Amino acid sequence: MTTPALLAISHGTSSPAGQAAVSALVEAVAQRLPDVTVRLGHVDVQPPDVAASLDALPENQPVALVPLLLSAGYHVHVDLREQTADHTDVTITSALGPDERLVDVLVARLAAIDDPDAGIVLAVAGSSDDRANEDCRATARALAERLGREVSVGFLAAAEPRLGAAVAAAAENGEKKVVVANYLLAPGYFHDLAVRVSAGSPVARPLLDDDEPPAPLVDLVVDRYRTAVTSHV
């Protein structure tokens, strides 16, 4: 049996820093899976797109497509299924989140800016598909349980409350410090927006940055692939 390829599909970004961070994650995954063909494509913004990524693989190569997306919204439920419809033997895995390993990374990133007396707001991109927003709310609940503190959610687009309003509400009329946990995969437009709208509150680094990809995130991508391969057999 031919070993399935791993096609990691990110959202895509015009940010060079974001592109480098996501590429580093996929390279780390490839190192963990030396006998597997590992490729990176994107569902939006940058090439190669899903179709081109699949066309670049051998015609009869089975593929486990792992969305490098933190929640399952329109891209997972619709875009990826439509864009793989003409290709046989493609298994689309679950999105990366919600997952406790993402909470591991959130806690590690938050530690650099946290104050035990501060309010915490989780910054998320937001989606017109509320299934994706609910995935993010589930992550906020898991983070709150891990920290033993309340965590509210602030959306950067498409849903309410927006991050700026969530930070203001958590500040309790300016009487409380607020820190922003960053539920964004990599640097780029949304991270820059989070910093701008957080009214001076410190914002944690995204899950991927210019350092080594966090081991829990690498483990998560590898696990999504292995689960897909096992279910395919």
Confidence label for 9 from pLDDT (cuts 50, 70 and 90): very high
Instruction: Give pLDDT, residue 175.
Output: 66
Residue-wise DSSP of 19-68:
HHHHHHHHHHHHHH-TTS-EEEEESSSSSSBHHHHHHTS-TT--EEEEEE
Instruction: Taking residues 40-53, report their average pLDDT.
Output: 92
Q: Whole-angstrom Cα distance, residue 7 to residue 69?
A: 13
Rounded percentage of the chain residues whose pLDDT exceeds 70: 96
Segment 67-118, tens digit of pLDDT: 999 998 766 767 788 888 888 889 999 999 999 999 999 999 999 999 999 9
Instruction: Taking residues 50-74, report their average pLDDT.
Output: 90
Segment 169-223, tens digit of pLDDT: 999 867 689 999 999 999 999 999 999 999 899 999 999 999 999 999 999 999 9
Instruction: Give pLDDT, residue 150.
Output: 94
Whether 233 shows a pLDDT value over 60: the answer reads no
Q: Whole-angstrom Cα distance, residue 132 to residue 164?
A: 20
Write down the CATH number for the domain with range 5-97+211-232: 3.40.50.1400
Segment 113-135, tens digit of pLDDT: 999 999 999 999 999 889 999 99
Instruction: Give pLDDT, residue 64.
Output: 96
Q: Whole-angstrom Cα distance, residue 155 to residue 165?
A: 9
Instruction: Give pLDDT, residue 78.
Output: 73
Q: Whole-angstrom Cα distance, residue 207 to residue 215?
A: 11
Cβ contacts of 194 within 8 Å, gap of 6 or more: 123, 156, 163, 180, 182, 184, 203
CATH 3.40.50.1400 maps onto the chain at 5-97+211-232
Write down the CATH number for the domain with range 100-197: 3.40.50
Residue-wise DSSP of 174-191:
TTS-EEEEE--SSSSHHH
Instruction: Give pLDDT, residue 232.
Output: 62
Rounded percentage of the chain residues whose pLDDT exceeds 90: 82
Helix (H/G/I), strand (E/B), else coil: 227: helix
What residue type is 26 in one-letter code?
V
Residues belonging to the chain = 233
Instruction: Give pLDDT, residue 1.
Output: 63
- How confident is the prediction for the chain on average, in pLDDT? 93
Instruction: Taking residues 150-157, report their average pLDDT.
Output: 96
Going from the C-alpha of 218 to that of each of 16, 25, 125, 211, 232, the distances in angstroms are: 21, 7, 21, 13, 21
- H helices of the chain, in order, are 16-32, 50-55, 74, 80-83, 100-111, 130-147, 163-170, 189-197, 215-232
